[in-house]
Structure formats: C-alpha cells, structure tokens
Amino acid sequence: MVAFAGKRDPAELTGEDLDRIAKYMEENYVVDPLKSFLTVAFPNSGFTNPAYTNSPEKRVLYAKKVLQAYKDEAPRQARRCVFTGKSTLGASLDLDGNLEPGRAFRQHIPMLTGVGVINFFPDGDAGLPISGEALLAIQALPLGCAKAEGKLLAVHCDDPGLMIGFAKQFLENNRKVIHTAQLAGEKKLPEAPHRTTTLLIDQLLRLEKERAYAAAERPVSISAYHLSNSGQGASIAIYHLPMEVTGFLIAAVNSKYRDDWSKLTARGWEISRGKKRGGDDEFQPRFNVLYDDLFSLPEGSHRFIRRYFLRVPERTKLPGDPRSTYSMRNEADLISWGLTELFLRKVVSMDKQRIEQIRTLGENLAHYVIGENDRRFFHTFLTAPRYDVLRAAMIRASLNLVKQGKEPLVRFDPFIEVFEEGEDLPYSDWRLARDLVLIRMIECLYDEKWLQANEEVLPDEGAEVISELTS
C-alpha cells in the first residue's frame, strides 16, 4: 500500500491513498488475470469461489464489502484487531452473513485454518479478529509480491526502505503485466522470469545498483516467504539472507569489486542446452547458480569459495548448469584475491591478521614458482590430497632455497598462523587455507604471465581437483 501510494512509511498513508488502492483492487480482483491467480492467496473467497465468480454482481458486492471495510461508516464492534488494536468489523465477511462478524478465515488471510476450526485462534474461538484497515492491507498483499513458480513471493527485512523497495519493484511489474494481459485477453498472470532464489538476488542487486531505497549504514537481513494458500496444496518455504551475506553483496556491487563481481555473476547464468528455432537470441536463462548458492552461506563458505573464486568445476545433473564448464585454466582471469578477501571479511569473519598472512604466503609461493620455474611444486600444492603432503612440499621448497643461500620459502610463525592451531596440529579447515593461498598464487602467476606460458599445469576440466573436492 505504501508503494502504491508512492510514500515511504505507513504512517504517511491518507484516507485518499486507501481509497485509490481499494478502487484499483475492486476493479482488478474481480476480473482476469487476477481473478484466477488469487486462488493462490484467497481460495474460496468471493474473488475465486465459483458461487461468486459465476455471478459478476456478487463478485463486485464482495469486493466492496471486504475492501471498503476500513471506512468510517463501516460497522464496528468492541473486540480488538489482533494486528492493529483497532475495533474489529461489525459485519460478516461473506455476503450471506454466515460468518461471525469481524472474524477472518483462510479465504481472507493466507495460511490460516478454515471456517469453524478453533485450533491456533485466540480464546478457542474460530476465526481471527480483524479490523477493516488490516483486512485491506492483507488483501493488497499479492500486489506487492512476485508470482514465482506459481506461488507468491513476499519479502521482509529489517530495513523498511529496502522492504518497500522490493514491494515497489514487484508492484510496478505486476501492474504492467496485469494491464498487458487484460489488453490481450489473457486469463493467466505470467510467471516471473527467474527461479525464486535467483529472482530474490537479482531484485536485491537491482535495488542496490539503482539506489531505489535509502541504504542503511549497517547490513540488513532479509527473509522471503514463498507461499501458496491453495486448497490443493498449501505450502510455504522461507529463504533467509543473513546480514553477513547482504553486507558482502552491497559491497561487491558498489565498490572497487564491481567489475570482478560482474564477471563472476555473468558466468553463473543458465547456459543454453541447444539451439532453438530462430537462433540463440531467443534463449532466456531462468537461474543463476551463484545467486542460488548465496542461500547456503555462511555454512557453505568453503564450497562457495572453491566453485566461484577458485573456479573448480562441478559434475552436475542439472540441465543448463554452467558449473560443469568452470575451469581454472580457461578462467584464470576471473580469479580475484580482492573479491575473495572481501568475502572472508564479510561472510566468513576471518581474522584480519590471518587473511594478511594468507595473502603474503600466496605471493611468496608465486614468486618462488616463477623464480625457480618449479612446476612440480605448483602441481603438488594444487592437488595435495593430505595435509602432510602439502607441508612436505613446502619444506622441500624451503630447503631448496636455503641450499642456494637464499631466504627460506616459509617461516615458522606465518606458516603456523595460516595452517595450524599449534605445532603438528593442522586447522580442521586446512584445505580452505590451501585454496585461499592458491587464489592469491594463481592471481600473481597470471599477472606475471607465468600461467599463460605454463597453462598445462592447471587442469583443463579440473578432474584432479574435482576428485579431491568430492572425496
């Protein structure tokens, strides 16, 4: 409702604002494409019940009864609304007067129980006490949601400006497609162009790039509710983005990391599985695997780092999944320590000193590989299946330098800080440390053109690294 009125806060809404949105719903909820789509939100209501839908007059009367219950002249009673504390409605919410006045059920509020069921309602009395204002707001819910995979997608977060930004984007798109469908005589509302999780990230990044809301100084968490209230299968899935992830995303698209981030996300989109008639221009990707995998964070950070920052390919049965085409050799230019460091700070919350030691070690190892042209060491470091193999390779390289009268490759304290909790006690995440060092190594080797001259040291299809990842 706030988005519809072009306001910033519910407190700014006026009676005229409520009148305008109520009028829009009265005109559009009783005709296609919304008349058929609203079964996902308000099944068996006057908008969707065949007893009403077969009678245009009844649909109009129901719409006025439900959508104008906020007006001063509407009857009230002393009982209080559970949402607003205002007086509840003094009239039944159906045309026949069969429902208790002021009580809402599943056909009025998504995910409630049906008429006559007392479970989960206050005082063991069936139905939820509701005011006209709250009823109008809930009826407006579908307008501020996306239609994603046949269900409603509603977004909530602890930054009101961002939440209204989502609602505004969804509302503007809905009004556009509703108008287009009505002109074309279509009975169905078109689906969102992307899979649910991809759609969420895509909309969030659009909001941030366009500065459609006043960005808060602190990171925000986001929860999205993907729901169907349909009588044929009510369901709800909740997707959560913690503040660590949103903080990383906001920094990635609004700073020096933007170009590197854009290149990574471009390789995350679904790839065409074959040519269509008329050419590849007709293909429109429906999902972005990088976007989808953001919802596995922070728990899945190591796998995320390997997939996207180190470019380790992954065997997958998902048609169109681009991750099977990732390649260290062919995509070394996408490996960025700067973006990885941002991820470690924002999402992993790794200690700054350990991050710096990892960066320095990666640079030192890269300089050693270039100076000695030690392809064997690089291969061993890349593919070591066990920690003792990795440590032995670094010790041998250090001894090699010492024999030449040079500084050792790795000193004790930095090595311990990167790989071990104590002497001979490796971190449980030693592979993560190795991968992070590799990211900085590969970036340095690429910048110095060593990789381009020795590209065969990197697996073309990542078979060796895949084997280690899945073991």
Overall average pLDDT of the 357-377 stretch = 95
Annotated domain spans of the chain: 2-116+129-146+160-176, 242-274+283-471
Give pLDDT, residue 427: 61
The crossing angle, in degrees rounded to 10, of helices 430-447 and 387-403 is 50
Scanning the structure block, which residue is given the tokens 């024999």?
Answer: 403
Contact criterion met (CB below 8 Å) for 369 and 445:
yes
* Whether residue 92 has pLDDT greater than 70: yes
**Separation of alpha carbons 393 and 411, rounded Å:** 14
Helices (H), 328-447: 337-343, 352-372, 375-383, 387-403, 412-419, 430-447
Does the pLDDT of residue 212 top 70, yes or no? no
For residue 337, count CB atoms less than 10 angstroms from its CB and return exposed for 0-12, middle for 13-18, buried for 19 or more.
buried
- 77-87 pLDDT, tens digit each: 999 999 999 99
Banded pLDDT at 463 (limits 50, 70, 90): very low
* Residue 231 binned pLDDT confidence (cut-offs 50, 70, 90): confident
pLDDT digit string (tens) for 280-306?
567 899 999 999 999 999 999 999 999
β-bridge mates for residue 76, sequence order = 89
**Can you name the residues that pair with 223 across neighbouring β-strands?**
156, 240
What digits encode the pLDDT tens for the residues 161-200? 999 999 999 999 999 999 999 999 998 989 999 999 999 9
Inform me whether the pLDDT recorded for 154 exceeds 60. yes
- Per-residue pLDDT at 177: 95
Q: Nearest-CA neighbor of 419 among 445, 384, 447, 443?
A: 384
Position 414 scores a pLDDT of 86
